[in-house]
């Protein structure tokens, strides 16, 4: 199976920057999107051959997630059951007989870590949710997780230490998630590969110089690591300040 996740930084804008062509050429079994920035009445894109699920934030032009899947799931759950997070449209879960698929747009801690308490509460709730799901079978968790876990995961770790996305608090939360029984699929396949990033600032020609961060992930249960065929970063795909990331997975819908 081919699974792809992409923070599109506004789906309507990304549709005009090669999104359709990417979807057609890659034809993933599941495509998860973050930061769609769509209100329900603005959802007009339904790609042929896919079941589509959108989850919007109450605030206009903000956050939001979506999942396109070739196979209709048994059940879809929007959110975590907590309005603090669900009002921002951050999480969608698809249940299949063979696995559970979760995508999330993890909150940004923002400058000065002014939203770190909210971020921590979300991470704690998400970790508990994923651990609970994992008791019933394989779980695939993907999205813009808004953290570079290790120094190898960003170009300039020194000057960015302590800033949003590379603070001790956020990195520790990611470590806690891994310790609870999950694996970063990219580092399973490429433990020492540097220069592999999924987000670049629009400033200072960052993408041109590959001065980026790897903050978009696929995680699976550590007990399912053997089913990871490959982990992908589509670094040459533009259309957003993030590029898509992918997982080739040895598994079936059932």
List 50, 53, 54, 105, catalytic entry: 105
**Token pair belonging to 77:** 């759950």
What local confidence, expressed as pLDDT, does residue 232 receive?
A: 98
Q: Kindly indicate the confidence band of residue 175, based on its pLDDT and cuts at 50, 70 and 90.
A: very high
User: Catalytic residue at 230?
Assistant: no
Q: What is the pLDDT of residues 215-250, one digit of tens each?
A: 999 999 999 999 999 999 999 999 999 999 999 999
Q: What is the pLDDT of residues 82-136, one digit of tens each?
A: 999 999 999 999 999 999 999 999 999 999 999 999 999 999 999 999 999 999 9
What local confidence, expressed as pLDDT, does residue 136 receive?
A: 97
User: Catalytic residue at 50?
Assistant: no
CA distance 190 to 208: 23
What local confidence, expressed as pLDDT, does residue 109 receive?
A: 97
Q: Work out the average pLDDT over 148-172.
A: 98
Q: What is the pLDDT of residues 15-49, one digit of tens each?
A: 999 999 999 999 999 999 999 999 999 999 999 99
Nearest Cα to Cα of residue 91 among 101, 99, 177: 101
Supply the pTM of this predicted model: 0.98
Task: Work out the percent of the chain whose per-residue pLDDT is above 90.
Answer: 100
List 53, 141, 144, 153, catalytic entry: 144
Phi, psi angle pair for 3, to nearest 5°: -120, 135
Question: Terminal CA-to-CA distance of the chain, rounded, Å?
Answer: 12
């Amino acid at each position: 199976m081919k699974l792809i996740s992409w923070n599109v930084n506004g789906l309507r804008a990304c549709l005009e920057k090669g999104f359709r062509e990417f979807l057609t050429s890659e034809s993933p079994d599941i495509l998860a999107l973050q930061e769609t920035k769509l209100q329900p009445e603005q959802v007009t894109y339904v790609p042929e051959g896919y079941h589509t699920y959108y989850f919007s934030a109450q605030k206009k032009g903000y956050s939001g997630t979506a999942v396109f899947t070739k196979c209709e799931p048994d059940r879809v759950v929007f959110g975590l059951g907590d309005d603090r997070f669900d009002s921002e449209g951050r999480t969608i879960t698809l249940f299949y007989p063979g696995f559970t698929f979760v995508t999330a747009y993890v909150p940004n801690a923002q400058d000065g870590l002014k939203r770190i308490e909210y971020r921590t509460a979300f991470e704690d709730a998400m970790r508990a949710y994923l651990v609970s799901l994992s008791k019933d079978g394989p779980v695939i968790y993907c999205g813009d997780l808004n953290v570079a876990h290790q120094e190898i995961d960003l170009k300039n770790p020194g000057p960015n230490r302590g800033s949003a996305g590379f603070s001790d608090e956020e990195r520790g939360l990611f470590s806690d998630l891994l310790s609870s029984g999950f694996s970063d699929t990219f580092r399973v396949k490429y433990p020492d590969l540097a220069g592999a990033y999924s987000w670049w600032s629009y400033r200072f020609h960052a993408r041109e110089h590959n001065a980026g961060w790897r903050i978009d992930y696929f995680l699976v249960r550590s007990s399912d690591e053997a089913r990871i065929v490959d982990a992908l970063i589509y670094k040459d795909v533009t259309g957003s300040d993030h590029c898509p990331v992918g997982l080739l997975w040895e598994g079936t819908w059932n």
